Amino acid sequence: MHTDNLSKTAIKHFRFLKKYNYRQISIVEDTWFTKVEYVNLDVGIGIEIILDFRDTVVSVLICKLINNKIFDGYRYNNQDVKYYLVEVLRILKKSDQRVKMVRNFKISKEDFIGDIERKATSLFEIISDENVNSFNDLFNN
């Protein structure tokens, strides 16, 4: 799969995050993956988007900030600090069949872009939902 422009495509689809005070803090590009991170210091939450070109997986993680940064691991002081988007949808009772944790080997570039679009749409629906005060409720359980 050619990875050119896929990172730009992902950034374009997640640009709505700026409207909700998430600012892009880093882009890490490697041969096999691209990782884009956004943080909202007002609510102490980060969003991590990982495009895995080798396994053709798009991962979106909701992260509790530790010292105003996205922690590298999934647990900090014996507490979860990251959740995959599909887990968040399940916890918030917003199950979305468009978003699945599935590895799709040898998918087309168009299918990969479609996965980016679906996950961006689902994240937007959560962030823009006025009934969801913040993601902090995820990390208080």
Instruction: For 6-72, give the DSSP string.
Output: HHHHHHHHTGGGGGGT-EEEEEEE-SSEEEEEEEETTTTEEEEEEEETTTTEEEEEEEEEETTEE-S
Model confidence band, residue 53 (pLDDT cutoffs 50, 70, 90): confident
Q: Return the pLDDT at 5.
A: 83
Q: Return the pLDDT at 106.
A: 63
Q: Has residue 53 been placed in a domain?
A: yes
Look up residue 79 and give its DSSP letter. E
Copy the structure tokens of residue 42: 């007002």
Tell me which amino acid residue 57 is.
Answer: V
Model confidence band, residue 96 (pLDDT cutoffs 50, 70, 90): low
Range of the structural domain that residue 119 is part of: 6-133
Q: Has residue 1 been placed in a domain?
A: no
Model confidence band, residue 6 (pLDDT cutoffs 50, 70, 90): confident
The phi-psi region of residue 56 (left if phi > 0; otherwise alpha if psi is between -120 and 50; otherwise beta) is left
Q: Has residue 28 been placed in a domain?
A: yes
Lowest mean pLDDT among 18-22, 68-72, 102-106, 115-119: 102-106
Q: Has residue 138 been placed in a domain?
A: no
Residue partners of 31: CB distance under 8 A and separation at least 6: 53
Q: Has residue 126 been placed in a domain?
A: yes
Q: Has residue 29 been placed in a domain?
A: yes
Q: Has residue 141 been placed in a domain?
A: no
Is the distance from CB of 24 to CB of 38 less than 8 angstroms? Answer: yes
Number of structural domains in the chain = 1
